Structure formats: structure tokens, C-alpha cells
Amino acid sequence: MMRFNPTRVFAWANRSMKRGAHLAKDVVASSLFYSGCHRLLAPYTRGVGVIFVLHRVFPEANEPKAFAPNRSLEVTPKFLDSVLDQVQDAGFDVISLDEAMRRLNEGEHEPFVCFTFDDGYRDNLEYAYPLFRRRSLPLTIYVPTDYPDGSGELWWIALEKIVACAREVQLRCNGELWRLPTATAAEKYRAFEKIMCWLRRLDEDTQRRVVRTLAESHGVDMAADCRKDVMTWDEIRSIAADPLVTIGAHSKGHFAIGKLCESNALEEMRGSAERIERELGKRPLHFAFPYGDPESAGPRDFALAREAGFATAVTTRKGMLFQTHKDQLTALPRAGLNGERQSLIFTALHMSGVPFDVRRAFLGSAGFGAA
């Protein structure tokens, strides 16, 4: 007789709810798009523009991986190229953050899109930048300065590699030894989600210590991964030489600013700007809060961004830009281009602003995109 295991039941229920939530989003999105409601409502919901957030851009593998929990952070060059076509065909101006700030301050209403890329991945240089250069369109890349310095920790990528290679992951959580099976793809996803949820609740120092210990015990070299995946300062200088490219700051070590004490939070922001200025000869005016969710960036941090000398700071709170954002320039929302949903339906809806109103009205924190 099979024994009742509450942990397995909870995990199954959690996955089922997530699948149900994804299905609900797809159904609502298709209904909005094919009914034309997004076009009818856009004059009321679109605002004046939208800032898109992306992370990684590289071609799709010939054989997709069975376990790819960070897939939401990846889009293909083909999809991004299609989005650029779509945005321009829809009559949106693709502009820099400097120009967006000017338009907000001066009250201009021509619809616009800004494209921003977080973390400074090398694939931004190899695959994304050529698409924008060919069209003479601007883009912004936010750099956590520890990464090109060689001391950064792409811990979410390390965790994926740890779980991908292991048949079991052991770690101690609040005095309890977790022994998480990871032999199958389903087990790997369950383990990854459980560890990730726990890590995001920890303070930043403890979180990094846990991941370092796991990485060492599973033979994952985070420093080597950082060197492989992130642009060097020479590469950043080469791309920054193009007037189309804005380099923004993204803290020093990619810590959740909202979890840090005030002095450390200010040092993460101000220190990253100073480091970029030393390397590029120009102090960045724009900042992106790592993670950018409400737990990682709040009113205190928006004020600190101003104190650190930034003209704008972006979050991952989902939404459009409205004229009122001229008074909230260090707390700007963005819309994520989700690698799990590389669909022009979703980008059309994002440009209409309708999903964000639907989300606020009906879906709570579920949302329509990924940050």
C-alpha cells in the first residue's frame, strides 16, 4: 500500500497550480488578442510607453534541454528580431532612456519602447547588439560591476548546473538536512524550485554562502562560469563606444538592494556607478535594481538611487509608463519578454498595456510576463 507523503502531494499540487496559472494566462491572452479587446482598450491603458527587460539572447539549441529552469531569462535572436519588427510596424518609437526621461518630463505623448538588458551577458554583444545596430536603434545594458571584475556570482545559473548534474542534492535548512532526489527531470524541477524559494527568502550573505558551499561540493566553478558568460571590461568598452548603447549600473554584486542595510545598499549603487566611470570614463545615469520585485526594491531604495546620483532606476514591477512617472523616475516599471512565451501575441498585449490592468484587477501577483 502506498504511503501518504504530504511533501510529494504539496509539490504535485504546486506544479499543477503553476501549470493551471500558465494555462489561464494563455487563455486570457489569446482571448484579449483575438477579440481585439486590447486594441479597443489601448487608448486607456497604454500610457506613453513601455520599457522591455531582457536578459540572455542566443540561438535555440538543436535539442532543447529537458531541465532548463532559467529558460524564462532566454530569448532567441529570431524572436527579438521579430519583436523589433512588430514594435516599429505598430508605430512605436524605439528610444533611449535619456530620451524617455526627456519625453516624460516634457509631456510628449508619442508612444515609445525602450529595450533594456540586465547582467551584461556576452550574448548581448554577440546576438542582440547586431540586431539593434543594423536598424540604428538604441538599447541599454545594465552591468553588475563585480561580473566583469571577475568576482561575480551567477548563482541562479550555478544552481541550475548543480541540480542538472546531480542525482541527489543535500543541504541543511534551518538545522534540517534536506536530501532532494534529482535523478529525473521532474525531480530536478521540484528540487530547484524548493531550493530557489528558500534561497530568495534568506538574507543575501547567507544565500551566497549556501550556493558557494553547494557549488564547491558539486564541482561547479562559479568564477569560471562568470568569465564565460559575461562581457569583459574591454568588451563593454567596445560596445559602449557606439552612441546607440547606454551602459547602466546594476549594483556591484547583484544583491537585492531592499534586503541590505542602508549603508550597504547605497554602496552597492554608488560603488557600481564609480566603477563604471573608472572603466568607461563616463558616470552612468541609469540604474536597474537586481531582481527588482517589491521585496528587492522599495521606497527607501528609490530614494537611495536618487541620492546615489541616478536620473532613473528601473524595477521589474510590471506596467506601462504614464506621464505621472516623471515624478517617480527612480521607481520605473518594466515589462518582461519571457523566454518561455516567445510569442508576438504577448508583446502586442504588452504594448497595449491591457494585461497589466487585467493583472491588477483579476490575477493578483500572477502577472503576464517574467522579469
Longest pairwise C-alpha distance within the chain: 71
Per-residue confidence band for 204, with pLDDT thresholds at 50, 70 and 90: very high
* Distance in angstroms (rounded) separating the CA atoms of residues 235 and 242: 12
The pLDDT value recorded for residue 201 is 94
Query: With 80 as the cut, is the pLDDT of residue 144 above it?
Result: yes
- This prediction's pTM: 0.88
Q: What are phi and psi of 318, to 5 degrees?
A: -80, 135
Which of 236, 333, 320 has its CA nearest to residue 288? 333
Residue type (1 letter), 228: K
User: How far does the chain reach from its first CA to its final CA, in angstroms?
Assistant: 44
Residue 329 · residue 287 · CB < 8 Å: no
Task: Please give the residue that has the higher pLDDT: either 311 or 355.
Answer: 311
Half-sphere exposure of 65 (CA within 13 A, CB side): 15
Domains in the chain: ranges and CATH: 48-152+231-363 (3.20.20.370), 155-217 (no CATH)
How does pLDDT run across 155-191, given as a tens digit for each residue? Answer: 999 999 999 999 999 999 888 999 999 999 999 999 9
pLDDT digits (tens, 9 = 90+) for 110-131: 999 999 999 999 999 999 999 9
Q: Is pLDDT at 370 greater than 50 in this prediction?
A: no
The average confidence (pLDDT) of the chain is 88
How many degrees, rounded to 5, is the angle at CA 359 between CA 353 and CA 363? 165
Residue 353 confidence class, pLDDT cut points 50, 70, 90:
confident
Q: Which of 53, 46, 48 lies closest to 115, judged by CA?
A: 53
Q: Is 58 helix (H, G, I), strand (E, B) or coil?
A: coil
Residue 21 has pLDDT above 60, yes or no: no
Across 316-322, average pLDDT: 94
Q: 366 pLDDT exceeds 60?
A: no
Which long-range contacts does 231-235 make (Cβ < 8 Å, 24+ apart)?
A: 231/120, 231/121, 231/122, 231/124, 231/125, 231/143, 231/148, 232/148, 233/148, 233/149, 233/279, 235/122, 235/125, 235/148
Label residue 361 by pLDDT band (50, 70, 90): low
Which residues does 292 contact at the CB level (< 8 Å), separation at least 6? 53, 314, 315, 316, 317, 334, 371
The sign of the dihedral angle between the CA atoms of 121, 112, 39, 316 is positive
Q: What is the pLDDT of residues 224-234, one digit of tens each?
A: 999 999 999 99
Comparing 347 with 33, which gets the higher pLDDT? 347
pLDDT band at 27; cut points 50, 70, 90: low
pLDDT of residue 30: 62
The answer on pLDDT for 109 being more than 50 is: yes
pLDDT band of residue 1 (cuts 50, 70, 90) is: very low
Using 50, 70 and 90 to split pLDDT, how confident is the model at 367? Answer: very low
Q: What confidence tens digit (pLDDT) does each residue in 252-288 have?
A: 999 999 999 999 999 999 999 999 999 999 999 999 9
Least-confidence region, from 18-22, 34-38, 160-164, 250-254: 18-22
Coil/strand/helix, residue 145 = coil
pLDDT digits (tens, 9 = 90+) for 43-71: 557 789 999 999 999 998 878 889 999 99
Quick one: which of 297, 155, 280 has its CA closest to 216?
Answer: 155
All cell numbers assigned to 163: 541540480
Q: What is the pLDDT of residue 2?
A: 37
Torsion sign over Cα 213, 218, 224, 226: negative
**What share of the chain has pLDDT > 70, as a percent?**
84
User: What is the structure's pLDDT at 148?
Assistant: 98
pLDDT band at 355 (very low <50, low <70, confident <90, very high): confident
Mean pLDDT computed over 216-225: 95
Tally of helices (H runs) and strands (E runs) in the chain: 15, 12
What is the DSSP pairing of strand 245-249 with strand 139-143? Answer: parallel
Residue-level pLDDT at 15: 45
